A and B are shown apart, each in its own frame.
Chain A
Amino acid sequence: MPTFFERKQIVTPGDLLAEGTYVAGENTYKEENKIYASKLGLVEYQDKKVNVVALRAFYIPRLGDTVIGTIVDVGFNGWTVDINSPYLAILRASDVLGRPFRPQQNDLSEVLDVGDLVIAKIIAYDRAHDPQLTVGEPGLGKITRGQVAKITPTKIPRVIGRKGSMVSMIKEKTGCHIILGNNGVILITGKNVEDEQLAVMAIYKIEAESHTSGLTDRIAQMIEKKMQKEELKNESET
């Protein structure tokens, strides 16, 4: 039962990863006892499971995911939301208003208009239907302030870090509140624009260097350096 690559090596679609009683994990497929890669990415062998961590991907909705989306259309009984995925999501008016409504009387664009950002959860999705969203839980709903950063969805786990180490470090250092959408959209709200921008910069740096080691420390250093510079600037001004 041989494996043909080392851990963390880059593989291309069609590469033979393992032969024998292995289980095909993420981004792989099995044919006649052989496991092949189906995406460009880094291999991971976990006991009997073979995974490929994709280097680039698009967001495929999953039940229970928190996503951040943009309203692209206002309909008669709901909104269409772009969630950075091949599929557009639906947000029903009854879900947002929480009461019966009459399309003739209520103007939905007064509640949410085209271009508004929402944090929502996916409550229904399968192959045959577009994903449906809900905002009926605490912390969900229209976004009123903050900044948004967009990264490849596969890199969200890296931004979170091991047991949330990365994201809590950024939160602590910049004093910003960070919400990660599983679809690769991240909302950052802080006391002032400078803090927010610092957090955005850190997140983009993580995305670009996600496959290198010792990243948490380097990001922490970067943030501290920038903070010191800001302070010096503020002091000289006053």
Chain B
Amino acid sequence: MSQKLEKLIDKKGLRLDGRKPEELRQIKIEVGIILNADCSAYIQQAKNKILAGVYGPRELHPKHLARPDRTVLRCRYHMAPFSVQERKSPAPSRRDIELSKVMREALEPSIFLEYYPRTGIDVFVEVLQADGGTRCASITAASLALADAGIPMRDLVVACAAGKIDNTVVLDLMDTEDKKGSADVPVALMPNFNAITLLQMDGILTHEEFEKAVNLALDGCKRIYVMQKEALKAKYESVKEVEE
């Protein structure tokens, strides 16, 4: 696969965008920027730009989907037509549907769904600009929006990917590295319990490499978790400062 292209890691051991193998991309997180949704979050991870909005818990429609014993969590992952270089059809693709499911399953264990039976929570994630690792960034943003909406949760969920390029295990792949590299391992984590809620792999890794990739991704998750918490608190601390 990799014979025709330039090296993904140069002689100094730096990647295409000048990062070290264990370095994350620049991350900016904001909470509560869309006023029409019950709560929202925005995450920018280098070129990734993702918005998440949450509604609920509210009465679920269509009603036959409601469960008598718990809340139904519905997720929608969607890429804007202008989010990638070649226009993407706005209709949900096979990939969009899969990622919606993956996101839901990553977030479900973190929420006390049994508290509000017969209701539904809707999570909408819109990818405005994509550059690899959007499923991880989406989970991170969606979890923040859920927490800010006042939904009872066991823990925040934070996600990060690791992968293999040019025979090196690296953290937080961007689009070109994902496409031209040889493997990608996204991981979602509930940091306070050390519980993994999402683990996928595409590509080929040896046992040792896989273990290394997972550990690297977990380490990345913990670093993003710190930023995630700060963003959540920042929304209310800024209010405090204005008044004082």
**A contact set with B: CB distance below 8 Å:** 10, 12-16, 27, 29, 36, 38-40, 54-58, 60, 86-88, 127-128, 208-209, 211-212
Tell me the dominant secondary structure on chain A's binding face.
loop
- Contact, CB under 8 Å: B243 / A39: no
Question: How far does the alpha carbon of A16 sit from the alpha carbon of B116 in the complex, in Å?
Answer: 24
Q: How far is the CB of B135 from chain A (nearest CB, A)?
A: 21
- Total contacts A to B, CB within 8 angstroms? 76
Most buried by B among A12, A36, A56, A211: A12
Choose one: A13, A15, A54, A87; the contact of B119 (CB below 8 Å): A87
B233 at the interface (CB under 8 A from A): yes
Interface, chain B (partner A; CB < 8 A): 39, 56-59, 68, 110, 112, 116-119, 147-156, 190-193, 229, 232-233, 236-237, 239-240, 243-244
Contact between chains at B243 and A212 (CB < 8 Å)? yes
Q: Decide: B155 and A14 in contact? CB cutoff 8 A.
A: yes
Q: A14-B155, A86-B119 are in contact. Are A56 and B240 (CB under 8 A)?
A: no
Residues on B with beta carbons closer than 8 Å to the beta carbon of A208 = 239
A5–B236 Cα distance when bound, in Å, is 17
**Distance of A116 from chain B, by nearest CB (Å):** 20
Query: With A13-B156, A86-B56 given, is the CB distance from A54 to B150 under 8 Å?
Result: yes
Q: Would B148 and A13 count as touching, CB distance under 8 A?
A: no
Q: B59, B149, B152, B243 — which one has the most chain A CB atoms within 10 A of its CB?
A: B152
Q: For residue A42, which residue of chain B has the nearest CB?
A: B236
Of A10, A56, A88, the contact of B39 (CB 8 Å cutoff): A56
Chain A residues in 8 Å Cβ range of B149:
56
A86-B116, A88-B59 given; A128·B68 CB < 8 A: yes
B residues near A12, Cβ cutoff 8 Å: 147, 156, 229, 232-233
B32 — nearest CB in chain A belongs to which residue? A56
Contacting residue for B152 out of A16, A39, A211, CB 8 A? A39
| A212 closest partner in B (C-beta) | B243
- Distance from A152 Cβ to chain B, minimum over Cβ atoms (Å): 8
How distant is B146 from chain A, measured CB to nearest CB, in Å? Answer: 9
Q: A38-B153, A86-B58, A87-B59 are in contact. List 12 more A-B contacts (CB 8 A).
A: A10-B233, A13-B152, A13-B154, A29-B112, A56-B149, A56-B150, A57-B150, A58-B57, A58-B150, A86-B116, A209-B243, A211-B236
Q: Are A14 and B116 closer than 8 Å at their CB atoms?
A: no
With contact pairs A36-B192, A87-B59, A128-B68 given, residues A55 and B155 touching in the complex (Cβ less than 8 Å):
no
Partner of A40, one of B119, B148, B191: B148
Minimal beta-carbon separation of B82 from chain A (angstroms): 32
Q: Which of B58, B153, B240 has the most CB of A within 10 A?
A: B153
Residues of B within 8 A of A29 (CB): 112, 154
Q: Which of B39, B56, B154, B243 contacts A36 (CB 8 A)?
A: B154
B40 to chain A minimum Cβ distance, whole angstroms, is 12
CB-based closest 8 A-B pairs? A14-B155, A13-B153, A56-B150, A14-B192, A86-B57, A38-B152, A57-B150, A86-B119
Q: Which residues of A contact B154 (CB under 8 A)?
A: 13-14, 29, 36, 38
Determine the residue in chain B with the shortest Cβ distance to A9.
Answer: B233
Whether B153 and A212, one on each chain, are in contact in the complex, defined by CB atoms closer than 8 angstroms, is no
Closest CB-CB distance, A59 to chain B, in whole Å? Answer: 11
Which residue among A14, A57, A88 has the maximum number of chain B CB atoms within 10 Å of its CB?
A14
Bound Cα distance from A54 to B58, whole angstroms: 19
| Cβ–Cβ contact A211 & B240, under 8 A | yes
**Smallest distance from the beta carbon of A81 to chain B beta carbons, Å?**
13
- Bound Cα distance from A138 to B100, whole angstroms: 51
Are A16 and B192 also in contact (CB < 8 A) when A10-B233, A40-B147, A60-B116 are? yes
Q: How far is the CA of A54 from the CA of B112 in the complex (A)?
A: 16
